[in-house]
Amino acid sequence: MRRLSRRTVLKGIAAFAGSAGLARPSLAETGLPILRAAPSSAQLAPAGYPATPVWAYATEGAGTVPGPEIRVSAGERVRHRLHNDLPQPTAVHWHGIRIENAMDGAAPLTQAPVSPGDGFDYDFEAPDPGTYWYHSHNRSMEQVARGLAGPLIVEDRVPWLGEPGAATREVTLVLDDWLLNGDATIMEDRWDDLHAAAHGGRMGNTVTVNGAAYPDLDIRPGERVRLRMINTATDRIMRLALPGLSPRLIALDGHPVPPRAIEDLVLAPAQRADLVVDGRKEGNPRAGLLLDPGNGEWVDIAAFVHAGDTVAEHDQDVRPLPAWGTLPTPDLSDPQHVPMLMEGGAMRGMREARYHGKTMGFRDLAAQGMVWAFNGVAHGMDAPLFRASLGRTVRMELTNKSMFPHAIHLHGHHFTVLAKSGSANLAGDVRDTVLLGADETVEIAFVADNPGVWMIHCHMLSHQKSGMMAWFEVA
């Protein structure tokens, strides 16, 4: 196989879950479309290798990797009944959507995991346009690595596509990272790999774009295309480049940014970016989508193949996306200050942390599968990291005192980057997942306007599983 070198019920929270903690009967006649999670297969490895057994989502027929694209307009409702045909309980999280708490799918905090053969009805409004995704949020590290992820696209309220300076077409690109055996099966004996969890996480040896290895993607010479890019990998941070296609960034994690030219793009697990590219009018008809697998040597993971008639001249300036108009502005005159310190991992570790109410040394923590902590607590699900009054501005100082990067995701909210050290974030960008490098600090702010209990965790899912998980309450 070609590799990249070439190319637990939780104490203290049950009261918060309320009625949402009961899985709804799968036989209830609600009339919702079915979103089925079930075993399936997918051709992840290149041609000549067998198909890979996966777990996948389907709205009809066999499941696909990635799962079927769910598309609504801003302000419309997403309505699906999850039916679990897996051998494990599961739940669906709708990543990045500022959603009502009971619909967040963050088992076991906001709902009980859905047992095999059972179901749960998801019915919520998608308030903000942008590029999002849905994925398993129970035993996430394993279930996402088996294929349980798909794109969720919320279309703009105001027309953009086809307007002057905008793109005339859009393409969704779901990027994933798979750890496969030589027969193209998923490596099964590494789900509890604490060595990997204490480092960068479970890294794959095969990268796919829309479920395929090294696909060709169509583009016409001069054509302006919007790329909706989603990193659904469990742990791999993807540094990407599109040489020769003049990429301009227009949105991060669904939220618009003023269009800006970029040479490369860093997408942590769960992050999304919308780009505008222009097909080139001369030269090599193949333009690679390149990935730096971590050694500084760019490799192709897909190619844009130019064919067809040249598109007529278009405005050179890229038209900005319409503003959301729905996100409250943080009031920084008297915010609630919340520090969050990240510690642990290999090569530096931590002397001790609390786990299930007991202070343990690092060796005892590791024996429990815990090697990471937030504010001195590993997998802190017994009590909230913080509480905020409804409508209060929260200013968080995120400090990474480890040797490895972390992608921190807040459920139910978007936040503004205020200040940072390092190069992965710009002040003023609005995100739901922020990447911090080793020994970096990033300050963020958000209005706690969404009542409920919300997870905050590292979206490098090996890190989440081994300690980097907490929750906060807005009430």
For 382-413, write each residue's pLDDT tens digit: 999 999 999 999 999 999 999 999 999 999 99
Q: What angle do CA 145, 149, 152 make, to 5 degrees?
A: 160
Q: Is residue 9 scored above 50 in pLDDT? A: no
Alpha carbon distance 402, 349 (integer Å): 7
Alpha carbon distance 21, 120 (integer Å): 11
- 189 — pLDDT class (breaks 50, 70, 90): confident
At 355, the amino acid letter reads Y
Query: Do the domains at 14-155 and 169-306 have one common CATH topology?
Result: yes
From the list 238, 313, 315, the residue with the least C-alpha distance to 269 is 238
Alpha carbon distance 379, 370 (integer Å): 8
Task: Characterize the bridge pairing of strands 433-436 and 441-447.
Answer: unpaired
Question: CATH code for 336-474?
Answer: 2.60.40.420
Domain residue ranges of the chain, discontinuous segments joined by +: 14-155, 169-306, 336-474
Burial (Cβ within 10 Å: 0-12, 13-18, ≥19) of residue 41: middle
Please tell me the predicted confidence (pLDDT) of residue 2. 36
Structure tokens at 312: 């007529």
Alpha carbon distance 136, 114 (integer Å): 11
Contacts of 289-294 with C-beta under 8 Å, sequence gap 24+, read: 289/173, 289/209, 289/217, 289/240, 289/241, 289/242, 290/240, 290/241, 290/242, 290/243, 291/4, 291/7, 291/207, 291/238, 291/239, 291/240, 292/239, 292/240, 292/241, 292/264, 293/4, 293/5, 293/207
For 445-457, write each residue's pLDDT tens digit: 999 999 999 999 9
Q: Is residue 58 scored above 90 in pLDDT? A: yes
Alpha carbon distance 353, 5 (integer Å): 38
Task: Characterize the bridge pairing of strands 358-361 and 248-252.
Answer: unpaired
Please tell me the predicted confidence (pLDDT) of residue 30. 67
Question: CATH code for 169-306?
Answer: 2.60.40.420
| CATH fold group of domain 14-155 | Immunoglobulin-like (2.60.40)
Please tell me the predicted confidence (pLDDT) of residue 13. 34
- 424 — pLDDT class (breaks 50, 70, 90): confident
Contact predicate 279/267, CB 8 Å: no
Please tell me the predicted confidence (pLDDT) of residue 29. 56
Q: Which residues of 250-274 are buried (b: 16+ CB within 10 A; e: fewer)?
A: bbbbbbbbebeeeeebbbbbbbbbb
Alpha carbon distance 463, 475 (integer Å): 28
Residues 128-148: what's their mean pLDDT?
98
Strands annotated E in 76-126? 77-84, 92-95, 119-125
Q: Is residue 20 scored above 50 in pLDDT? A: no
Q: Is residue 280 scored above 80 in pLDDT? A: yes
pTM for the full predicted model: 0.93
Q: Is residue 28 scored above 80 in pLDDT? A: no
Burial (Cβ within 10 Å: 0-12, 13-18, ≥19) of residue 312: exposed
Alpha carbon distance 395, 397 (integer Å): 7
Strands annotated E in 179-241? 206-209, 216-219, 224-231, 238-241
Alpha carbon distance 283, 32 (integer Å): 50
Neighbour order of strands in the sheet with 299-306: 216-219, 299-306, 286-292, 238-241, 265-267
For 327-372, write each residue's pLDDT tens digit: 999 999 999 999 999 999 999 889 999 999 999 999 999 999 999 9
Q: Rounded mean pLDDT of the chain?
A: 92
Q: Would you give the DSSP letter of residue 8?
A: -
Q: What is the CB neighbour count within 10 angstroms for residue 6?
A: 11
Question: What are the residues facing 109 on neighbouring strands?
Answer: none
Structure tokens at 49: 């290798």
Q: Which residues contact 364 (CB under 8 A, 6 or more apart)?
A: none
Q: Which residues of 336-361 are buried (b: 16+ CB within 10 A; e: fewer)?
A: eebebbbbbbbeebbeebbbbeeebe
At 95, the amino acid letter reads H
Contact predicate 363/164, CB 8 Å: no
- Better-scored residue on pLDDT, 311 or 176: 176
- For residue 108, CA distances in Å to 92, 104, 250, 464 come to 11, 11, 35, 14
